Structure 1
């Protein structure tokens, strides 16, 4: 029998977690500050469990079978992590904006104190067990912290970020209480705790940390590995008979190796149920051509940006600001993702994506938005004189370089759009394959973006005091305001030119519920299923 999740008694705590709670205990609802707003959405066909049929198969493609079954080993690639995701649920769940709340299957209570330094006390669910029925306890958390901070020779887990800010982890009043102590006051204390621990025995040595094969005892999840068929290139997951939470709606999840060039055909021939298409126009069109399918899309966790070299001509901040105003970033996004029914969200902050709490459009706030007339005036004021082909100053032509690696069609398209926009104000742009004044990049943005500020933002003149405040302010409203002030300084300095928030595209079979394009949100694998 599945156990009802105790969500109701976590309501007040959830609100505190969303913003970083204060005090030694969860605050009463009358004094808990409201979460900072976030314009985040996900496209997963959310459905209550009672509307889903019991049973069913879900099929994913893989490029290759996993060779490393530890999700935090450096050798675990994207395919391995895809297989391991239903085997390693997060202990603090994230919503589409990246805000954390406790997953009651693993953590039933959280208390936080910020007196001098942050101390977090987790109460673990005593029903949680590893795949061999051994209890999940504070010992596992202590061992994971030790391994994540270099205290175990030869063991260096990949992620989560934030363990370097933790100075101690120990058992509390019982084996089901974990006390985590941070070096200072830490508003992003949830960051290292989100995925939960690895089993203590698996991080005791380098040999134990490398999982060449799967073992039930390594996982605590709604699903376990039932079979790996090396010859057929298949991994099959089935319900975990020891799972203590809601009974999974699916009874089987299958991962099948498919060559990259054959995935579209396999999806169209109904051999797969889920296909992460990316932003390729060809793949998007192929997914839409498949019968009985839906293309789910939501703002993603990456942003497209131009890295600005603050050397050479662009060492002059006035010139950087003129270039920024000359660029129509919405046009760049529309050109990059021309197959979208709606253009992507223009991105105007060096710290937060548009869907994250506290985001402010800094182009609007500073007035440094697309304005070719003002860009030309700024160039005039800086002494760049109009001439045939480009402006010049003291005999030097205003020529900037743009990096377009060989075979990078996206960068080539961006170059063509930007070259025209900059030429309109007298700036010539030349494509190069090596180092350049402007370099297009895809920037991953963490669910806790203020926990580790970008180096170019932290080094902005006059930013030091704001950087220190953002690092330790636990009041969410004050912190959002401080972060906005810092982002405004970075925007005025033009340390980077954000373009747009990259969307997620996932093609799925009609009737699939609670899975698709989630933003930052955690997948509740026990709630994934079919409506018909």
Structure 2
């Protein structure tokens, strides 16, 4: 999305102006639902039919374990034709998918061991059974022992010490080095056929197009073009028969998607842009489906960058930023009502969420922000910018050109922090610099916003993100107390103990302020009202056997 910021900034300024005129505070808006998919019972759906979905990109790899693995959008789609061992509900809680896992037995250990029994009927699209050897090959490809396999760095297979066949080819035994608390994590991206990961060349380069014999699910690829992929019912599928007979995926831009929807060539399309939403709503039967996505915005503070090395400055920033205003400016005219994350790890849709920000005294309070700066020795200067020991309180904010969420954040930081005496200089970086990691790992920024995930494993990767010297600790802040708590969390198996430790860790992070979670992003999808059980599923997985078209 590359909309102009002018209207956004004016709209936010008007909201602030009106709020300052003595109006009573508005009640906290209702958050978007956890899911919006138009649920309809199977008996009301047509037996057959084609669902035509617009996607932003079909290029690159379909390998869900690859370092350049498919986007969140395509991750949702691949469940139609690749093995998925778990279903995910709207709260991000995983449960075994009975089409692939008949049973699971967890022995916490240590060492922890999990034994699966694969569904006896589960087969690949060519009829070959899905067996333990497939799990063994998947683990061997990405356990870190062979770096020539270009695996994503956050999969967790390195926490597994052994994968072996049990009493039959359909039984799998997985042994973990430590706790089994997040035992599903390595397998949450699916199980790959042994032949598809047999060597680095096949793993790295063999997934550019889909080979039907590597797939397993209610659908299987039947044709592929540079900008299209066609999925038909799989003759080998053993589970509940799907309602649809075909799914067509097409790559289009926002303008092309809106035109395709208007010309009745598409049934579903991304709709983050207000113009696209307006086009969808103008069509008979066009609806916008909206849910809380599994992603949120987080501000990263470079604690080595001048005044940002002062924890009082970072706390003052957190007390001065209004996440709701930032979110409204980023998504105007969409109907989305953003709410503050108010948690370091959990999304509002997750059962463990509590307002730990309030518990830590972090809330929108610019008068308190000024008192914090006063106590730290930052005194008001003649030009409104605070000064300490002759140093003006000036910080840099990086905006990513063309990324509306980032552009809005930079403008809002500059506007909101000026009221407490902090001057913000806006610098620009490219999307490429953000994507290739050079911006964050190079540390050439003061404050920058990133998109992070509220995954089903919210306590996963804490050491990398917040631990001293962690590869994703872009704030460069060492926190010994956080290191201690992260170590205890990684060793704990009891869910209640893990939640309690996470609360303690959140308190440390709010106090030390290496970063600030802002607001959860919406999932916005345009769809025809006859499309059932699909749209904006939020954190939940899609049941592709249930997706269909309402019978006319």
TM-score band (shorter)?
0.7 to 0.9
User: In the alignment, what sits opposite 2:296?
Assistant: 303
User: In the alignment, what sits opposite 1:513?
Assistant: 532
Contact 1:150 1:156 in 2 (8 A): no
User: In the alignment, what sits opposite 1:453?
Assistant: 462
Going from structure 1 to structure 2, the CA distance change for 1:217 and 1:481 (only over 3 Å counts) comes to: same
3-state SS of 1:527 partner: coil
Q: CA deviation at 1:197?
A: 1.7
User: In the alignment, what sits opposite 1:109?
Assistant: 103
What is the rounded CA distance, in whole Å, between the counterparts of 2:449 and 2:189 in structure 1? 31
User: In the alignment, what sits opposite 2:386?
Assistant: 391
After superposition, the CA RMSD in angstroms is 2.3
Q: CA deviation at 1:464?
A: 2.8
Q: Does 1:216 align with 2:212?
A: yes
Q: Does 1:193 align with 2:212?
A: no
After superposition, the C-alpha distances for 1:238-257 in whole angstroms (9 at most, x for unaligned) are: 11111100011001111234
3-state SS of 1:87 partner: coil
> Comparing 378-387 with 102-111, which one deviates more in the overlay?
378-387
User: In the alignment, what sits opposite 2:274?
Assistant: 281
Q: CA deviation at 1:364?
A: 0.6
User: In the alignment, what sits opposite 2:113?
Assistant: 119
After superposition, the C-alpha distances for 1:42-79 in whole angstroms (9 at most, x for unaligned) are: 11122332332211110012456556454444566448
After TM superposition, list the pairs within 5 Å mapping 1:1-12 onto structure 2. none
User: In the alignment, what sits opposite 1:502?
Assistant: 521
Contact 1:66 1:80 in 2 (8 A): no
What is the rounded CA distance, in whole Å, between the counterparts of 2:247 and 2:414 in structure 1? 48
Contact 1:297 1:506 in 2 (8 A): yes
Q: CA deviation at 1:446?
A: 2.8
Runs of 4+ in 1 over 6 A off after TM superposition: none
In the alignment, structure 2 segments of 5+ residues that lack a partner are 1-31, 430-443, 469-478
Going from structure 1 to structure 2, the CA distance change for 1:382 and 1:289 (only over 3 Å counts) comes to: same
In the alignment, structure 1 segments of 5+ residues that lack a partner are 1-38
Q: Could you tell me which of 173, 192, 202 is aligned with 1:179?
A: 173
Aligned residues: 491
3-state SS of 1:332 partner: helix
User: In the alignment, what sits opposite 1:18?
Assistant: none
Q: Could you tell me which of 262, 275, 295 is aligned with 2:256?
A: 262
After TM superposition, list the pairs within 5 Å mapping 1:48-447 onto structure 2. 48-62=41-55, 66=59, 68=61, 70-74=63-67, 77-78=70-71, 84-151=78-145, 154-158=148-152, 161-209=155-203, 210-211=206-207, 213-229=209-225, 233-278=227-272, 280-311=273-304, 312-387=306-381, 388-433=383-428, 435-447=444-456
What is the rounded CA distance, in whole Å, between the counterparts of 2:142 and 2:283 in structure 1? 44
Going from structure 1 to structure 2, the CA distance change for 1:393 and 1:446 (only over 3 Å counts) comes to: same
User: In the alignment, what sits opposite 1:465?
Assistant: 484
Q: CA deviation at 1:480?
A: 1.0
Going from structure 1 to structure 2, the CA distance change for 1:62 and 1:506 (only over 3 Å counts) comes to: closer
Q: CA deviation at 1:81?
A: 5.3
After superposition, the C-alpha distances for 1:399-428 in whole angstroms (9 at most, x for unaligned) are: 122112444444333333322221211212
